[in-house]
Structure 1
């Protein structure tokens, strides 16, 4: 899947929790940067300590 900078994605965490993250692009090392839409906190996927997946468009896990 090709990610689009500035686009929001629905994410399912390994706990089953559903989150909405905005993809902010890749840095010079190729790491993807995200922003949690609810909290406004940005992070690199290199720092994530849990499994997650991007849900297909229209799927909210409910």
Structure 2
């Protein structure tokens, strides 16, 4: 897969088989990669994740503003 697109929403499959939708926020100045869980509205970086996951595909390239 190509590099994720900033602000695009991706379908993410967790090791449990659950699919979540995360918005890719991109790297910060320390090169940590940040995401936003679209359901919980929590931001997190990849280094903080304690489980396996994979990008299944692009869900949406636009984030709703409402």
TM-score, normalisation: structure 2: 0.81
Unaligned runs of 5+ in 1: none
- How far the C-alpha of 1:57 sits from its partner, in A, is 4.1
TM-score, normalisation: structure 1: 0.86
Higher strand share: 2
Higher RCO structure (Cα 8 Å, ≥6 apart): 2
Answering whether residue 12 of structure 2 is matched by residue 14 of structure 1, we say no
**Count of residue pairs brought into register by the alignment:** 58
- Runs of 4+ deviating beyond 3 Å: none
Kindly provide the CA deviation profile for residues 9-58 of structure 1, in whole angstroms up to 9, marking residues without a partner as x: 00000000000000011011211100000010000001000000000347
Unaligned runs of 5+ in 2: 60-66
